Homo-oligomer: A and B are copies of this chain.
Amino acid sequence: MPRQSRQDISKERKNQILDAATTVFAREGFHDARMEDIADESGLSKGALYLYYKSKDAIIAALLRRLFALELRGLRAVTEGGGGATERLLAMTAMFATDFDRMAFAMPVMLEFSAVAARQRSVRQYLGESLEKYAAVLSGLIQDGVASGEFRPVNVEGVAMTLTALGEGVVLLWVMVPRAMHLREQLEAALRLVLEGIGVR
């Protein structure tokens, strides 16, 4: 029976900390969250946090990476799936909706990262790249659709940007007006609207 290596324990502790940090940050915001809150939530001691992360900022930075790395997985899986472009876009949207539903509790943290991004180049760059990866995946799918004759010969990059924006925007509305919005339905409706626009008549 293999024991946990030092590495494994460290990794486990770090995840424990980031999980706790997500919960606390979502509730209190980056600043109002106290290291002690994170310690309590994680079941570790205040001192222990510093064994795994150099500072509060280091936790935030690590969380940024973990949070926005996760989301890409779904996209990648879909890209490699079969079916027509429309079908794959719909599947991607469904996955997107599922991911965000699961991550709903972390939305305040994601939005706070957006806010920080607006004033810190490094964070902005990181998030910008993340968005561009999304857009790139979408570009690929749309390009496929154009190539296969499913879609009209549109400005592929532009449409990809529009769809990316749409995704972000719908999520934002979902957070802001949760009662009036079904994330999945709204996302699919929005996508279909655009598909109508780019579809062959």
Contacts and interface: CB of A to CB of B under 8 A. Distances in A.
A115 to B, nearest CB: 4
A102 interface: no
A14 B117 CA distance: 28
Contacts of A28: 119
Given A108-B119, A111-B118, A170 B176 contact: no
Interface stretch (A37-45, A49-57, A77-85, A188-196): A188-196
Given A132-B180, A162-B166, A186-B158, A27 B119 contact: yes
A161 to B, nearest CB: 6
A162 B118 CA distance: 24
Nearest to A180: B132
Contact of A168 (B116, B132, B173, B194): B173
Interface residues of A, number: 52
Contacts of A107: 118
A50 B106 CA distance: 33
A69 interface: no
A153 interface: no
Nearest to A159: B193
Nearest to A195: B197
A173 B160 CA distance: 12
15 contacts: A27-B119, A107-B118, A108-B119, A111-B115, A112-B118, A114-B114, A132-B180, A155-B189, A161-B180, A162-B186, A164-B173, A165-B169, A166-B169, A166-B190, A169-B172
